Structure 1
Amino acid sequence: MVAIPGGTFLMGSDHHYPEERPAHRVTVSPFHMDATTVTNAAFARFVAATGYVTFAERPLDPALYPGAQPAMLVPGSLVFRMTEGPVDTREIANWWHWTPGAQWRHPEGPGSDLAGREDHPVVHVAYEDAEAYAAWAGKQLPTEAEWEFAARGGLEGAEFVWGEELAPGGVHLANTWQGPFPWRNFAADGFERTAPVASYPPNGYGLYDMAGNVWQWTSDWFAARHAADPAKPCCAPTDPRGPAMEGSYDPAQPRIRIPRKVVKGGSFLCAPSYCRRYRPAARHAQMVDTGMSHIGFRCIRRDVPIIHEGDTL
């Protein structure tokens, strides 16, 4: 794990998507964070030790999904499939497909496996799966404020975790989508789907893949906007924990009343033409019961003393 020093920073953005507003001052206490997202190999050790069964491997309760077709109430998950040509990007069903049998061991569905992907981030993990792993490891999931502070790596106000340009000098510093989404990915960054963790340089705190590759769960419930700055500039909230669950629904999908957590960081599916969310301020509402082929997580610990240079153990 990597020591994150804590401090006060400007969270959110007034220049991008509405849900990132308003930019506001927040203080976070020091903590430690996993240098990488949790890998398939690490998650496999957890499952072997505990016998844990992920949400995507369990039959769905019809009472929780009224009106759902019986064929949908079987173990599975949502898998991304590239389209054959241009489509209406307002309709995500063009590329997201409910796939029976898709789960962390079979990321593209039956017939796929983890051979050669042991060091890729685990995917198809719902929120409770990430929480279960964190508890087993003696860790926690980060709040949105902790995650964003760590992602910025000490670069106050920078658009990306490494600076102001997406690909400075033509060099790709994260696993994102290059080309017209969702039907052609030129994979100029070297990867069409997930990449092994730490395939790109770390940020200023030594954290890898804080942009792109996979979205990452946080412990905060989603709200459509950030809270405004306090009336007194000196009184930035310390270690905020987000809103209550009751308001955690996506205003873009008002009929789906499943609570949502904040995910951060963007993924290999984020493209300039469709989803510029490979930025530390970016955020997205994710239903807690839904793991997908581009969502993973990393953990933190708040109970470990921060050792500074020159300190003695």
Structure 2
Amino acid sequence: MSQEVLIGHDVVGLPGGEFTMGSNEHYPEEAPAHRVRVSAFGIDRDPVTNRRFALFVAATGYRTVAERPLDPADFPGAPAENLVAGSMVFTPTAGPVDLRHLSRWWTWRPGACWSRPEGSGSSIDGRGEHPVVQVAYEDAVAYAAWAGARLPTEAEWELAARGGLDGAAFTWGERARPEGRVMANTWDGPDFPWRSTGESGWDRTSPVGSFPANGFGLHDMAGNVWEWTGDWWSARHSDDAVKPCCVPGDPRGGEVAGSFDAAQPQFRVPRKVIKGGSHLCADTYCLRYRPAARRPQPVDTGMSHVGFRCAWDPAVEEGA
């Protein structure tokens, strides 16, 4: 790993430990709450930024999934002119819409990729310290391998996000906005996806570290961007151990065969777990900027609110 990359990563070494993973209080995929043990590891203080990802691309010539033309074999019958490189971009609606249909506020944009997050004509100029987005799982893994790291497991990510507050609803405690303070870059106000009050100060991503760190000194473990983990999606957690002596160590989530979306059998793309919520999490629609929250993400799909951070083995001392 080059010195330039090492300087770009502020790594926090965590001793691991036992904690309650998941929640029985919110969404069904977070249940059941159960005890797990995690070994010591290191994790980035911040999500990987555009500046860091640009170093990787410059050093390797890497092309992200969103920059590669689509394979006609994967889309039989589709017009050739539609098989262009691009990605999914959040597009605010003109007014209230049926929140059961995500297609109302997500648009496929030709040319959208990590360096043009909103599509052709956009850029990351002035956003070097914002988290990189429009990265598929393969892209995040490639960057982590180049940096000498890996992606965190879901259990590692959740332990880190909790910041020592075992069982708390949020990374900072029990209340979404303690004493009215905005603690994370999430959607402001009740009018998702068409009108934000702008209270957080950002319409999309924000520079990493713009909001308070958690108890471990980690930034953006809530909101800003969802983050890839290395675990396959499963619809629920494992049951809690019957005896304290049987608490599982370093659990690894589901199996690839169970990660597919049964509601869309025509799309045979496995899914990984993403964590942390994003700037699109609205309390009235998606209260998922919590440590226990989790969502499935197809491995081939980058989006304008999905990024990642690296984990490190063996644990790296803080400030490395």
Q: Which amino acid aligns with 2:293?
A: A
Superposed CA offset, 1:65-107 (max 9, x none): 3454544421000000100000111111111000000001101
Change (3 A) 1:289 1:86: same
Residues 216-244 of structure 1 deviation map (CA, whole Å, 9 limit, x = unaligned): 00000000000111232321110011121
The 1:191/1:263 distance shift into structure 2, 3 A limit, reads same
The AA in structure 2 aligned to 1:147 is W
TM-superposition CA deviations, 1:269-311 (whole Å, max 9, x none): 000111000000000000000000000000011223668xxxx
RMSD value over aligned CA atoms?
A: 1.3
The percent of aligned pairs where both chains have the same amino acid is 63
CA distance in 1, matches of 2:77, 2:192: 31
Aligned equivalent of 2:142, options 132, 135, 147: 132
1:146 aligns with 156
Q: How big is the shift at 1:147?
A: 0.2
CA distance in 2, matches of 1:53, 1:266: 26
Matched, 1:277 2:288: yes
Map of 1:54 onto structure 2: 64
Three-state SS of the structure 2 residue aligned to 1:121 is coil
- Give 2:3's aligned residue: none
- Once residues 316 and 142 of structure 2 are traced to their aligned partners in structure 1, the CA distance between those partners, rounded to angstroms, is 24
Q: Which runs of 5+ in 2 are unaligned?
A: 1-10
1:31-70 deviation digits (Å, cap 9, x = unpaired): 1100000000000000000000000000111222345454
- Aligned position for 1:238: 249
Q: How does 1:172-251 map to 2 (within 5 A)?
A: 172-179=182-189, 180-251=191-262
- Tell me the residue number matched to 1:170: 180
CA contact (8 A) 2:231 2:253 kept: yes
Letter of the 2:296 counterpart? A
Using structure 1 for the length normalisation, give the TM-score. Answer: 0.95
Per-residue CA deviation, residues 134-175 of structure 1 (Å, 9 max, x unaligned), is: 000000100000000000000011000000111111110100
Q: Secondary structure, in 3 states, of the residue corresponding to 2:66?
A: helix
Alignment of 1:27-42 (within 5 A): 27-42=37-52
Q: Which residue of 2 aligns with 1:310?
A: none
With normalisation by structure 2, the TM-score equals 0.93
1 CA distance for matches of 2:165 and 2:263? 31
Which of structure 1's runs of 4+ aligned residues deviate more than 6 A? none
Partner Cα separation in structure 1 for residue 79 and residue 230 of structure 2? 31
> Which SS does the other structure have where 2:59 is aligned?
helix
Whole-angstrom distance in 2 between the partners of 1:249 and 1:12:
21
How far, CA to CA, are the matches of 1:97 and 1:40 in structure 2?
22
Equivalent residue, structure 2, for 1:311? none
Q: Secondary structure at the match of 2:244?
A: coil
Q: Verify: 1:159 aligned to 2:169, yes or no.
A: yes
1:6 aligns with one of 10, 16, 32: 16
1:303 maps to: 314
TM-aligned CA distance change 1:166 to 1:252, over 3 Å: farther
Checking the alignment, whether the CA contact within 8 Å between 1:266 and 1:277 is kept in structure 2 is yes
